[in-house]
Amino acid sequence: MNKIKYQTPTGMHDVFGKEQVFYDKVEETAKKLAEFYAFQRITTPILEDQELFIRSVGEGTDIVEKEMFTLKTKGKDLLVLRPEGTAPVFRAYIENGMQSFSQPVKLWYYGPFFRYERPQAGRYRQFWQIGFEFVGDKAPVYDAQTILIAHNLLKDIGFKNIVVSINSIGCEECRKDYKKALNSFLKNKKDLICADCKKRAEKNILRVLDCKNPKCQQVLSEAPQIVDYLCPECKDHFKHVLEYLEEVSIPYRLDPFLVRGLDYYSKTVFEIGFSETDKEEALGSLAGGGRYDSLGKALKSDDIPGVGFSMGVERIIALMKLKNIKYKEKKKESIFIVQVGELARKKTLKIIEELRSQKINVSEAISKESMKLQLTKANKLAINIVLIIGQREALNNTVIIKNMETGKQSIVEQENIVKEIKKRIK
Ligand code: HAM
């Protein structure tokens, strides 16, 4: 039999140690913001029905065409590892009768998502997203608040010079006219655009707009702009969103060619990133989102408006490292407990529990025999207060408390240990 390969699947990675601390801190920052803005956390299953994404994200999109991890159950159901979070949240909203709650329902999530992409910087097959969704309200003030929350999240993490790119892609009605205009613009230019765009022009013409190929971008610089085709309602909505953003001093850049790669959007769409250096740009956008008022219709349920964003945690962490953003570690006061001999080990096991019940952090190396080895570990952890239970102390129910900085030590009764420690750590 061949040896097993000790390797994660392509595009996936283990998270532990210092890396895990980054993930935890990003999650913590999101959690604090969610509490402030009164968002409830939601956790949906990792697997969802394939149909949910085909209908919502859309058939002609990269996600549905190339990037879904699909599996067939023994019962022959087609399930996919969720590639994004908006459609599952929307499904959960309907399934759990959240229409009867006070609207909008504000939900946030943090978890792993999966896309079968070619792995490269900032692009993985399993990645983590933080998402915030306002479901059930069409007021433009929520579009602005969505962008504000995404902006604040990045600011609280420590980023500066955040760039918000924003556009409106209107509703289905205004898009009809715009698609016609774009189609006639591209009619004589098919030879000038890339092969992918030729296909996009047939299937989903708006997607031509966000092609990154410089040749296509050159052609498109002259293309008609969707904002000039917005109906009065969509125009008014967009105007309000921009006014609200100005009111809260969120700097934005109008990007007439921003359309986003998912079909469920209407009206406002936006992305957040940096465009300072190539390295930053190579990571792609940090966050993306927008309004999805026609998602309900695509899923054949009621017309339920919504707006939200999500943010890629790997990209955030990569940029934190690139920009040397460090979280200030709050040093927790901790103690270390050293034991010598079997009786001392038993007593130590009990003392650890007593300290834990009083929320006092305690580290140990309880399987070790050598006092020297245990003290070395305490030193490495830079712990100032060390408790020592040797054979003598175990027999007469005492503990030595040693201050590693001053070298001063005192002997106390085991039953008074919690009280004595509390005096020392305050
Ligand atoms: P999205 O733009 O597809 O939008 O993804 C949002 C963010 O997820 C991206 O800006 C990026 O940071 C991260 N991301 C996407 N793909 C990968 C990948 N392969 N590896 C690492 N990070 C990645 C959505 O998913 C929408 N659900 C956003 C939304 C929420 N719209 C409304 N509400």
Per residue of the chain (426 residues), what is the pLDDT tens digit? 788 899 999 999 999 999 999 999 999 999 999 999 999 999 999 999 999 999 999 988 889 999 999 999 999 999 999 999 999 999 999 999 999 999 999 999 999 999 999 999 889 999 999 999 999 999 999 999 999 999 999 999 999 889 899 999 999 999 999 999 999 999 989 889 999 899 888 888 998 998 888 999 999 999 999 999 999 999 999 999 999 999 999 999 999 999 998 999 999 999 998 766 666 666 778 999 999 999 999 998 889 999 999 999 999 999 999 889 987 666 666 899 999 999 999 999 999 999 999 999 999 999 999 999 999 999 888 899 999 999 999 999 999 999 988 999 999 999 999 999 999 886
Q: Output the pTM of the full model.
A: 0.90
Chosen CATH of 17-171+231-322 out of 3.40.718.10, 3.40.50.12780, 3.30.930.10, 3.30.1330.30: 3.30.930.10
Q: Pick from 329, 328, 354, 331: which is nearest to 425 by CA?
A: 331
Mutate-to-test residue for ligand 1 from 89, 90, 129, highest number of ligand atoms within 8 A of CB = 129
Spatial strand order in the sheet of 385-389: 361-364, 334-339, 385-389, 398-403, 409-413
Give the ligand 1 atom nearest the CA of 285.
10
Span(s) in the chain for CATH 3.40.50.800: 334-425
Q: Can you tell me the distance from the alpha carbon of 172 to that of 315, in angstroms, rounded to the nearest whole number?
A: 32
Span(s) in the chain for CATH 3.30.930.10: 17-171+231-322
129 lines ligand 1 (CB under 6 A): yes
Strands 334-339, 385-389: pairing is parallel
* Beta strand spans in 126-274 (E): 126-135, 163-168, 252-254, 268-273
61 lines ligand 1 (CB under 6 A): no
Taking the alpha carbons of 318, 319, 321, 326 in that order, is the dihedral positive or negative? negative
Q: Pick from 219, 239, 218: which is nearest to 168 by CA?
A: 239
Enumerate residues 6+ apart whose C-beta is below 8 A from 380.
none
Ligand 1 center–CA 34 separation, angstroms: 19
Q: Does domain 334-425 have CATH number 2.60.40.10?
A: no
> Taking a C-beta distance cutoff of 8 angstroms, is the pair 312, 293 a contact?
no
Q: How long is the chain? A: 426
Shortest-distance Cα residue to atom 23 of ligand 1: 312
Give the ligand 1 atom nearest the CA of 315.
12
The H or E element that residue 40 is part of is: strand 40-41
The interaxial angle of helices 417-425 and 342-357, nearest 10 deg, is 60
> Taking a C-beta distance cutoff of 8 angstroms, is the pair 246, 41 a contact?
no
